[in-house]
Chain A
Amino acid sequence: MTIRTEPMTVNVGPQHPSTHGVFRVRITFDGEEIVEVEPVFGYLHRGTEKLAEERNYVQIVTLTDRLDYTSSMINNQAYCLAVEKLLGVEPPPRAKYLRTLTAELQRIASHLIAVGFFVQELGALGTPLMYGFRSRERILELFEMLCGARITVSYMRPGGVFADAPREFWPALDRFLSDFPGEFAEMEQLLLENEILMVRTRGVSPLPPEIAVNSSVSGPVLRASGVNWDWRKQEPYDAYDAVEFDVPVGANWDNYDRFWVRMQEVHQSLRIINQCVAQIEPGPVRLDLPLVLRPAAGREAYGRVEASKGELGFYLVSDGGIAPYRCKIRSPSLINLTVIEHLLLGWKLADMIVSLGSVDINMGEVDR
């Protein structure tokens, strides 16, 4: 005897506890199994690219904070690099080191959130998330010392950074650097070899390197798929050519590897920060550029960085005015989201949330 069953379509989101903001995906389930996926986004569209055409080059920095609000420093960096390419200038060395240092601090904060919510979606009622937030809080306090803001920092400027670090910043950073490895070790101890976490994520939703490369996926998701590709290595910007670090690469391409790569990258970021602290020397932190920048007409530039979620690029076209003629943002979350169908099809409802968390999307960046 066969029992007649029929598929059921569920709108997961935009109001859902774990879609990382207002992401909506229409999923057709056969029992618990996913048979059809249709992502729908645009609920957080704020017209950032159009707004950029109405503001001058320095003002746009504040718009970039609001793209991926968990890694605003890195967004600042990508935009400033693009403007500097457009102008053909280079910031002073101290500014480069400060940028590298803050970007890596931001990467740690962003990865802590990514890992925390990833495990939260596995059902671990907040404990790992709170462990992550404890350390992230200290990073945000460091940012507050630098620029007065915690999330929307706007710390970097075309041609350097907004201001040199205050005197209290360095002892505070030292304290963080000595405490953080212990705090992070607690998190690793709880998670890395957690049996339930492993059975839930090992072998689930593998993303083969061919598909990852063909879909332009970047960042930890790409590296977890076994592709050794990191813009900090491939095309070093700021002070990355002066520091040593490794690129962790996944071997099984699955959810666990995406989580594992992020955990390892935190260690590498710490290495970079320590080297920056050792190498940084006194000097100017900002070029003496005019307040209102006017790049030559017809020039265009593409600045990119390895953001915490992947390749973040700003493509700027100048018409000689005070605002860019066009500002196109290549956001990693949106491009990484294109493999969602491949990740979800055939897996179960519970895996869907976890795979979504393993890609680590941020809707502020997807919809822009």
Chain B
Amino acid sequence: MNCQLAPDNILYGNGLYRLLYDAAGTLLPCWLAYLAAGLVIIFILVNGVLLGAAVITWTERRLLGRFQNRVGPNRWGPFGLLQPIADLFKLLTKEDLTPAGADRIVFALVPIAMVAPLILMTAVIPFAQNTALASLNVGVLYLLAISSVTTIAIFMAGWSSNNRYAMFGAARAVAVLISYEVPVVLSLLGVVMVAGSMSLGQVVEAQALPFLLVQPLAFFVFLAGMSAELNRTPFDVAEAESEIIAGYHTEYSGIKFALIQAAEFGGVVVVSAIVATLFLGGWSGPLSEYLGWLWFLLKTGVVVFLFIWIRATYPRLRIDQIMAFSWKFLLPLSLINLLAVSLEVFFLRGETGQLTATDLGIMTGINLVLAVAAIAFFGNLIRRRVKFETRRPAQNVVPGVSTIEVS
């Protein structure tokens, strides 16, 4: 049979898919070939995300060990690389508990509802040239929409567990995630405006200069917002282990817990991939036609390292401070970025509506200065609200200084 994929099909851009479709099309009816080729790619993506999550658990633990003058897991396999597999087997053999009084159906659905959005998000990410499964022309919008589904999963977990710590975690998570959506969306608007498209493939191609340089403010807001959505320090109030045990997943055990952890670490992989795509130029780089995947992996790895580094360094903020950080600091920054970028695009674009590399260079200069000024200004504003001295008066160390006489 001779099956042809129409060029306007969203799957047309994926080279591997076309190859598989053609091969399968010689044996199967077209509709079945369409399905079979899709399933093969989905299989690769699902395993990619889960394997990525496994590698991240190992990397994170090894790196945290380094940061903390420890060794980290190094027993099982070379450099402890097989540790995630050992963890998985351990969790598989654990009893799968459902607490009394829990809403059993919702409780069981949570791990699925947490992993699914992650895998869906990978559908539009271009890992190299012509490799995104679906070259959606609303890719950025799709990512934002899908990433919000995790909020519902977290709330389901907190509500169905019949546990007060889980309830705390869920309430916190919803508050944080909803308030961080706003600056994240606004920061991405600037990216879309400069790229002139919402398709991730075209965003990558538009980055003659990485958008990290062109829009440092947007990068900063996006990274902060994404660490909040991933529940990572300093925004990890939803599962703050020193306060509310494990937050929304306190009651989960066994394979359900494994899936929730996989979703968390997989989230780091996917979000790092998105950051690399939107701000670091994705697969572009020298010899990108052949080595695009290597560049992409490298850039993703850098972002993952950044996330782990932040986690190893900072304490956690309080819930009201996190909300203040979002509404009083990140939101103004993203608005400033949006305003500046829209003005620059309006004045700099040529007759075709395209921005050249020189235009991007000019924008980089303006936006860098703007970013430093805006962060300094708004940083000082919220700092002054908190009111603390940065240095202690030295005379405190001198004995005899006391505010009360004790006889």
Which A residues have a C-beta under 8 Å from some C-beta of B? 8, 10, 16-18, 32, 119-127, 130-131, 134, 190, 193-200, 202-203, 209-210, 213, 226-229, 233, 246-251, 256, 260, 264, 348-353
Contacts and interface: CB of A to CB of B under 8 A. Distances in A.
B83 to A, nearest CB: 18
B393 A229 contact: no
Contacts of A256: 388
A200 B240 CA distance: 14
B240 A350 contact: yes
B349 interface: no
A8 B315 contact: no
B242 A120 contact: yes
B390 A123 contact: no
Contact of B236 (A8, A123, A264, A348): A123
13 contacts: A16-B245, A17-B242, A123-B236, A124-B316, A127-B68, A130-B69, A190-B313, A200-B316, A200-B317, A210-B404, A246-B397, A251-B396, A349-B244
Nearest to A202: B388
Given A210-B404, A226-B403, A349-B244, A200 B318 contact: yes
Nearest to A119: B315
A121 B242 contact: yes
A350 B172 CA distance: 12
B67 A122 contact: no
B243 A18 contact: yes
Contact of B397 (A120, A125, A264): A264
Majority-rule SS of B interface residues:
loop
A184 B176 CA distance: 35
A123 B315 contact: yes
Contacts of B383: 195
Contact of A127 (B312, B400, B406): B312
A250 B317 contact: no
Quick one: which of A127, A200, A229, A352 has the most chain B CB within 10 A? A127
Contact of B315 (A16, A194, A233, A349): A194
A8 B319 contact: no
B389 to A, nearest CB: 8
Given A126-B64, A130-B70, A228-B402, A196 B317 contact: yes
Quick one: which of A119, A226, A249 has the most chain B CB within 10 A? A249
Contacts of A251: 392-393, 396, 403
A125 B400 CA distance: 38
Given A227-B406, A251-B392, 6 more contacts: A124-B316, A130-B70, A195-B383, A199-B388, A200-B318, A249-B401
B233 interface: yes
B90 interface: no
B329 interface: no
4 smallest beta-carbon distances between A and B, as pairs: A123-B316, A228-B402, A130-B68, A122-B315
B257 interface: no
A136 to B, nearest CB: 12
Interface of B: 64, 67-70, 164-165, 167-168, 233-234, 236-237, 240-245, 311-321, 383, 386-388, 390-393, 396-404, 406
B396 A227 contact: no
Nearest to A126: B68
A32 to B, nearest CB: 6
Quick one: which of B242, B311, B387 has the most chain A CB within 10 A? B242
Nearest to B234: A196
A349 B243 contact: yes
Nearest to A117: B242
Nearest to A194: B315
Given A130-B69, A209-B403, A228-B400, A348 B388 contact: no
A246 B399 contact: yes
Nearest to B237: A350
A275 to B, nearest CB: 16
B306 to A, nearest CB: 15
B291 to A, nearest CB: 35
A349 B236 CA distance: 14
Nearest to B393: A251
A123 B311 CA distance: 9
A125 B386 contact: no
Contact of B398 (A125, A134, A203, A246): A246
Given A209-B403, A229-B406, A249-B402, A348 B318 contact: yes
Nearest to A228: B402
Contacts of B388: 198-199, 202-203, 256
Contact of A124 (B244, B315, B404): B315
A110 to B, nearest CB: 20
A125 B311 contact: yes
Given A120-B242, A124-B315, A193 B390 contact: yes
A19 to B, nearest CB: 10
A6 B174 CA distance: 19
Contacts of A250: 396
A349 B168 contact: yes
Contacts of B315: 119, 122-124, 194, 196-197, 200
Contacts of B167: 8
B189 to A, nearest CB: 29
Contacts of B240: 123, 350
B245 A17 contact: yes
Contacts of B313: 124, 127, 190
B318 A350 contact: yes
